[in-house]
Amino acid sequence: MAPDPLQALQAANRRPFDGRPSRGALLIAGATGVLGHELVRRLAGRHRFDHTYVLAREPIRDGLPGVETVQVPDLPMAQWPPVAAGTALVLFEPPRLFYDRERALWTPEPAQLPALAGWLRSCGVQTLAVVLPHDQGRLPEALKRGLASLDEQAVVALGFERVLLVRSAQKPVARRLAHPGERLAAWMLSITRFMVPPSEQPARASKVAELVDVALALAPPGVHVAAPDLVWRATQGELRAVVQGWVAASP
């Protein structure tokens, strides 16, 4: 069984510094699931930032160097007290219920992104990275490489120096169906997953985390949208070269 995301930092914090300069404070909303675990391990556990804040729903005892949980109040986001940070990472992967700490962490819903981004901007965040999940093979071609909704346009309009939107395909959620007809229909629909090209299928969480890490280090000011096929190509070999080409080509 994989280790708890926050407890894993104890081992990560003992690793030697890799020579890369730190980049101020990082704030993570949604540090849950396999991807959240990988990103916390890479960005916080390897001293990428001077300090890391993780939003939580319930009190969690802090005890990890450079990592601090911040309990969000039961108020509209506009009324949350500010947390000073220059970089923020937003994830929407639900917590794995068999991890007590993950259940205590706060994870946003996609509809909350504009309000959350507004609060992050009031905290002084200049770089915002968002990993946006979507059903594999169902994202329209016209939306893959640009802003896909009014919510994303509203986020960009807030005036961040850098916005990174990473479109990552997710596996279909397993549902328990009681009626035999529903089970038959679900089975027939599941056959279509074999028709999804490899470039539209979910990438490994560790590779998505590495892509975000490298992009945060390399991306110049502006809006950078990683399409699903780019995420897939980055996982196939020369990840750093793919990311360099992506951020250099962004308008």
Rounded distance between C-alpha atoms, residue 32 and residue 30, angstroms: 5
The pLDDT, as a whole number, for residue 121 is 97
Name the more confident of 94 and 195: 94
The pLDDT, as a whole number, for residue 249 is 83
The pLDDT, as a whole number, for residue 136 is 45
Q: Is pLDDT at 102 greater than 60 in this prediction? A: yes
* Residue-by-residue DSSP string for 163-225: EEEEEEEEPPPP----SHHHHHHHHHHHGGGGGS-GGGSPPPHHHHHHHHHHHHHH--SEEEE
pLDDT band at residue 148 using 50, 70 and 90 as cut-offs: low
Rounded distance between C-alpha atoms, residue 236 and residue 76, angstroms: 42
Name the more confident of 239 and 139: 239
pLDDT band at residue 158 using 50, 70 and 90 as cut-offs: very high
Which phi-psi region, left, alpha or beta, contains residue 137 (left: φ > 0; alpha: ψ -120 to 50)? left
Q: Is pLDDT at 64 greater than 70 in this prediction? A: no
pLDDT band at residue 33 using 50, 70 and 90 as cut-offs: confident
What's the whole-number mean pLDDT along residues 35-64? Answer: 82
Judged by average pLDDT, the poorest of 26-40, 167-181, 186-200 is 186-200
The pLDDT, as a whole number, for residue 24 is 87
The pLDDT, as a whole number, for residue 19 is 42
This prediction has a pTM of: 0.78
